[in-house]
Amino acid sequence: MVDFSCYELGTCKFPQDPFGTMLLPFNSIFGDLALVIFWALIIGVIWIRTQNPQMVSIIGIVLTAGYLGAVGGYQNLTLDFIRAHTVGAVLIVLSLAIGIWHILIRRITSGAE
């Protein structure tokens, strides 16, 4: 007997947890790294459209900080989720570094006006 998930049968409680219900199929494929993959896609599309590292950095910081801030403590978390949390923390530090680097380079190359 095959054990079907609620999203395959259409019996998930969507009104109680719409975001979690929409992530269920992706979490079954990617584990708890689904949000990190979606974050990367959003940032990648913004980079392709704007080619502005400062704006991509600021949006990346906001997205990652919002995600890391929304997650509470570390009780009953899977190893994949803790790994995704670590990747998010590395990405926020990387975004801050790129933003600061871009500001400094822009300031240096603009000259003293």
Closest among 80, 58, 62, 59 to 70, alpha carbons compared: 62
Q: What percent of the chain has pLDDT over 90?
A: 3
Please report the pLDDT score of residue 113 as a whole number. 55
Asked if residue 49 has pLDDT above 90, the reply is yes
The distance of Cα 85 from the centroid of its chain, to the nearest Å, equals: 9
Say how far apart CA 10 and CA 17 lie, in whole Å. 14
Average pLDDT on 49-54 reads 84
pTM over 0.75: no
Mean of pLDDT over the chain: 77
